[in-house]
Chains A and B, each alone.
Chain A
Amino acid sequence: MSIYIYILVMALTTYLIRAIPLVLFKKPIDSRFVRSFLHYVPVACLTAMTFPAILYATDHVVSGVMGLGVAVVLALCNRSLLTVAACGSLAVFVTDWLMKMMF
């Protein structure tokens, strides 16, 4: 299948999710379950996407673990998005390089 069909479908779905409620809903959502469900979606989805995928995104599992560890510690220290992302990826790079030197 052409990649452009995928991109079109992806863009259209994403846009409609954003546009329909903004145009149609003038009142807040009443259902407590729906509001609760939506409240938990971001954390549930980002967590599922990050782990364990990060372990397999690098040359060695060890560098994935290092990147994860550095990012988690910095996030616990409330560092900015940019700092956490940059230092995590630096940790991955350095660990990968060290692994190559040693083996």
Chain B
Amino acid sequence: MRKDFTAGIRAGIPVCLGYFSVSFGFGVMAVSKGLNPWDAILISLSNLTSAGQFAGLTVIAAGAALIEMILTQLVINSRYALMSVALGQKLGPQVGTGQRLAMAFFNTDEVFALGMTRLGKLSPAFFLGAGLIAALGWTAGTATGAAAGAVLPLSVRLALGTMLYGMFIAIVIPQARQEKPMLFCMGLALVCSCLFAWMPGLRDVRDGLAIVICTVVTAAVCALVFPVPEQEGAQ
């Protein structure tokens, strides 16, 4: 048990460092959108999700309705539901509800990947170790970014704020390159999002909502045109 936890922490260190640098950008951006540094830290501590927090920031800055916040998080973070299902398969049936509830909080793309690539059944202790160290990097990065954001000149803040976009690009491009349907998906989302940015009428839709609509429409069209292969046995 303790050995698994230590192994998890060790495996999570690269994720921790990566998270630190990216969430530094989130901290900088949050402060430049008018948030108090402590509130930015609270967001990272309680959410642990890059895309969701980033979109949430837009919703907060716009002072939009709460339903828009819920909708935004539901759509953007819906992939976690799928990952949680997969993670559940990797756990033995003896893993209780309490442990599952604790693990759920740390189920990010990278920690999920660490857990799923373990040989055999996944130990909750390993997953929690990796998740904790990743969350530490994520929160510390936001804190550092938020503090630096208050003293750094605007041009540096703007440049650091774009790090988050860089991370998204680094996730999307390799997938679009590997799979034709993903390339189509990226192209469709691009067109949709440009329409919402520039077309009269659509232009007035708020950013957070526009992202939700683009995601749902694009993913639905892709699912119809390029459905994933039928399930080949359980993993």
Contacts and interface: CB of A to CB of B under 8 A. Distances in A.
Interface string A56-84: 01110001100110011011101111101
A6 B56 contact: yes
Contacts of A10: 43, 46-47, 52-53, 56, 59, 69, 73
Contacts of A87: 166
Contact of B228 (A1, A14, A35): A35
Contacts of A80: 18, 170
Contacts of A49: 51, 54-55, 165, 168, 193, 211
Contacts of B222: 36, 40, 44
B60 A6 contact: yes
Nearest to B97: A23
A41 B78 contact: yes
Interface residues of A, number: 75
Interface string A1-42: 101111101110111011111110110111011011111111
Nearest to B76: A45
Contact of A44 (B210, B218, B227): B218
Nearest to A25: B85
B218 A68 contact: no
Contacts of B81: 17-18, 20-21, 38
B31 interface: no
B226 A22 contact: no
Contacts, number: 294
Q: How many B residues touch the partner, as a band?
A: 35 or more
A45 B219 CA distance: 9
Majority SS at the chain A contact face? helix
Interface in B204-228: 207, 210-211, 214-215, 218-220, 222-224, 226-228
Interface of B: 17-18, 21-22, 25, 35-36, 39, 42-43, 46-49, 51-56, 59-60, 63, 66, 69-70, 73-89, 93, 97, 100-101, 103-105, 107, 109, 154-156, 158-177, 181-182, 185-186, 188-190, 192-194, 197-198, 207, 210-211, 214-215, 218-220, 222-224, 226-228, 230-231, 234
